[in-house]
A and B are shown apart, each in its own frame.
Chain A
Amino acid sequence: MLSKKQLFKRGMIDISPHMLSVIPFGIICGAIGIELGFHPYSVYAMSLIIFGGASQIVFLQLLSGGASSLVAVASVGIINSRHLLYGAVLSEYLEKLSFIKKLLISYIVVDQGFAESNKFFKKNRNEEFLHYHLIGTGCTLWFCWQIATLSGIILGSFVPEELGLKFTIPLTFIAIIVQDLKKLDHVIVMITCGLSSLLFFDAPFKSFIIISPLIALFVAALLLRLKK
């Protein structure tokens, strides 16, 4: 049995390599907000209140492009609706927590934290304080995101755009799923999702980000049926 502290630390360690992409992306996100002419407090409030990388950038771009608040809010909701899937996966491991703890832990569920903690949960189902791993990954991501966006807001885009650091975003997610390329069924699901995301890229409200996972999960369900 690992202690709460050990699990928290383990979460911090497991998530730390992803800071290679989270920190530059956060800086870019803060700098874009200022470049688009938003008040620094508004840009920072987003990191605190929304706390969701890609959706923050889309939100700023829509508002500065003259879209209505309703369109901006709807887009953020649709982009972030993928968290519903993460929640459904995590609920199995978090069911013993009290309602209040569930409400609190929900705030820090983000892509990379979900991915790394889910991997850990699968291997260590029997740990009593499993959720401390998720708190470790989530708090690390939260802290780094706040610092990174703040520095982007204050210092501007001090990371040269020519470096193309936005490219670290796809790379970080490649690192997350690359080991599943060993399994043919996962490869089929990944390709389905990837091709759908390109096909539906122009769908309204950035909805490709939830349409393509749903198509891929449907294919996964068909594959499961074939396996039997």
Chain B
Amino acid sequence: MTVTTIIFAGILTYFTRMTMIALISRDMLGDKIKAVLEYVPSAVFPAIIFPGIFINDFGTFIEMNDPKIFGALVAVIVGYLSKNIIATISSGLVSYWFLIFVVFN
């Protein structure tokens, strides 16, 4: 039972990946649409970032003094200045750890 469901979910997921790449040609997208598509990363990824910071595992909003907010701010600043992915991720994580293991402990 589960396996059939997984296969259906997989086929559907594959179609989301393949449709625009294989079935749509460049000419079908006008210049205006292409200009808007320039914003795709900025328009999509915050929908992963914001809930990942502000909503906890139980689906409710976190307190405004939650260590994740601080960690995310550190990551933004370090990332902006360093332009380095490893520095961005590790600075955010380490400052988060610092708060949960050292300060709030």
A residues within 8 A CB of B100? 162, 164
Known pairs A76-B12, A77-B12; A197 contacts B50 (CB<8 A): yes
**Dominant secondary structure at the A interface:** helix
Q: Report which residue of B1, B16, B50 has the largest number of chain A beta carbons within 10 angstroms of its beta carbon.
A: B16
**Minimum CB–CB distance for B10 against chain A, Å:** 3
Q: Please determine whether B80 and A102 come into contact, CB atoms closer than 8 angstroms.
A: no
**Minimum CB–CB distance for B15 against chain A, Å:** 8
Q: Please determine whether A85 and B44 come into contact, CB atoms closer than 8 angstroms.
A: yes
Residue of B nearest to A202 (CB): B59
Q: List 30 A-B contacts (CB under 8 A).
A: A17-B86, A42-B3, A49-B10, A59-B6, A83-B20, A85-B43, A85-B44, A87-B19, A87-B20, A87-B24, A90-B21, A91-B26, A95-B26, A99-B22, A103-B22, A106-B21, A111-B44, A163-B97, A164-B100, A167-B92, A169-B52, A173-B46, A175-B89, A177-B49, A180-B42, A186-B39, A194-B46, A197-B51, A217-B40, A220-B38
- The interface of chain B, by Cβ under 8 A from chain A, is 1-10, 12-14, 16-22, 24-26, 29, 32-55, 59, 61, 68, 71-72, 75-76, 79-80, 83-86, 88-90, 92-93, 96-97, 100
* 15 further interface pairs, Cβ-Cβ under 8 Å (given A167-B71, A174-B76): A20-B89, A51-B10, A59-B6, A77-B16, A80-B12, A85-B37, A88-B40, A92-B29, A106-B17, A107-B17, A115-B41, A177-B49, A198-B54, A209-B48, A216-B43
